[in-house]
A and B are shown apart, each in its own frame.
Chain A
Amino acid sequence: MSFERFADPRCQRGLTFVYRLDHPIDPEDFSLAIGPDFARSKQVWGSREIQIWIAPKRFECQLGVRDLELRFMHRFSASAEQRLIDRSRFEEALSTALRR
Chain B
Amino acid sequence: MSALRGQVQEQGFGRRNLGDEPLVYHCNFYNYWLQKTVLLVDDLGMEEIIQDAAAASAFACLKGLSGQDSEQAEALFAYLGFGQIDLSEVTAAGGHATTSVSHYGQCLSSAAGVPFAKPQSRFDAGFAAGAGAWAHGRLASGFGASIQACMSVGAEQGKVGLKGRVKPDFMQTYGMGPASTDARPPNTWAAVDQAAVDRAVQALHLVGNEEGLIPRFGVMLTQHFAHFYNRLSFEFLRRMSHTGMRMAGEHLLIDAGYRCAFHTFGGIFNSAEWEALMGSKVASREAGAHSMASIVSALGWGRWRLVEISDRRAVLRLYDDYESLGYQAMYGAASRPVAFLAAGGLGGLMNLLYLGDVLDKPVLDNDYFERVFEHPDSFAVHQTKSIAMGDAYSEIVADR
Contacts and interface: CB of A to CB of B under 8 A. Distances in A.
B360 to A, nearest CB: 16
Interface in A61-85: 65-66, 69, 71, 73, 75-77
Contacts of B101: 76-77
Contacts of B148: none
A15 B213 CA distance: 13
* Interface size range of chain B in the complex: 20 to 34
B358 to A, nearest CB: 13
A16 B215 contact: yes
Interface in A23-66: 43-48, 50, 54, 56-57, 60, 65-66
A69 B267 contact: no
Interface of B: 27-29, 100-101, 106-107, 110-111, 200, 203-205, 209-211, 213, 215, 218-220, 263, 267, 270, 272-273, 275-279, 363-365
Interface of A: 8-13, 15-16, 43-48, 50, 54, 56-57, 60, 65-66, 69, 71, 73, 75-77
A45 B277 contact: yes
A81 to B, nearest CB: 15
A58 B365 CA distance: 28
B211 A46 contact: no
B84 to A, nearest CB: 8
Contact of A57 (B210, B218, B263): B210
Contacts of A73: 215
A19 to B, nearest CB: 12
Given A46-B200, A54-B210, A65-B272, A12 B110 contact: yes
Contact of B279 (A46, A65, A69, A71): A46
